[in-house]
Amino acid sequence: MIEKTQDIATCRQIRHEVFVVEQLVPEAEEWDDLDGDAIHLIARDDSGQPIGTARILFDGETGKIGRVAVRKAGRGTGIGAALIRAALEELAQTPGITRAKLGAQTHAIGFYEKLGFTVYGPEYQDGGIPHRDMTREL
């Protein structure tokens, strides 16, 4: 189950576990002042436990999907794709938003391509991890 949430603390806990602990992203690079402006999504497993999260920010006609994180127990179950589909649905229902954008870790580009995203621009480092920007028209 995926829903919008005001429980930013739980979303941040998942992000800390995935990005800071597992992927060794420096805490100073993970935390910014944008969480208060974002729409947060939370995915729960069949027992109701939080297993994944994503956030959505807006910039003009673009909705930026970011901080997509799924706990180890949820990987390979389709939760990540479901989070992206839910974010795309949220963006499609937002007046004036015509495209989605995200920064994909390079190893996940194929995952996002299957969801309709296209790579553009050069590779860059984010949190010490190589990324490429991707976009999709809504």
Encode pLDDT of 104-136 as tens digits: 999 999 999 999 999 999 999 999 999 999 999
Res 118: pLDDT: 98
Spatial distance between the Cα atoms of 62 and 20, rounded to a whole number of angstroms? 27
* Number of domains forming the structure of the chain: 1
Residue 107 structural domain = 2-137
> Any idea what the CATH number is for the domain that residue 120 is in?
3.40.630.30
Instruction: For residues 62-67, give the mean pLDDT.
Output: 98
The proportion of the chain whose per-residue pLDDT surpasses 70, expressed as a percent, equals 100
